[in-house]
């Protein structure tokens, strides 16, 4: 039974840490993007009472300001 050289073990550890770091980072970014999309959507509870603008009223105001 041969022993694995230290350089191979070190490379394996670096590779595993890199893969875990990339996976963790991508999961964190995906989670934060998903959270922000949800919080800015109409499904979030806090957005039930958000202001809604009528497009016709906004157009009237824009025309009046010109």
**Those residues with Cβ within 8 angstroms of residue 39's Cβ, 6 or more apart along the chain or in another chain:** 46, 47
pLDDT in tens, 12-31: 999 999 999 999 999 999 99
pLDDT above 80 for 49? no
- Residue 53, in any domain of the structure: no
Q: How many domains does the chain have?
A: 1
- Mean pLDDT, range 48-56, rounded to an integer: 76
Instruction: Average the pLDDT over 42-48 and give the result.
Output: 74
Give the range of the structural domain holding residue 26, as residue numbers without chain letter. 8-44
| pTM recorded for the entire structure | 0.59
Residue 32, in any domain of the structure = yes
**Cα dist. 10→5, 14, 52, 55 in Å?**
9, 6, 58, 62
Q: Is residue 64 part of a domain?
A: no
Token digits for 41? 């959507």
Per the prediction, the chain carries an average pLDDT of 87
1 in a structural domain: no
């Amino acid at each position: 039974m041969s022993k694995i050289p230290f350089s191979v073990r070190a490379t394996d550890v670096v590779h595993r840490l890199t893969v875990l770091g990339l996976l963790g980072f991508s999961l964190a970014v995906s989670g934060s993007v998903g959270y922000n999309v949800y919080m800015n959507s109409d499904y979030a509870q806090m957005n039930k009472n958000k202001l809604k603008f009528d497009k016709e009223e906004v157009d009237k105001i824009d025309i009046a300001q010109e």
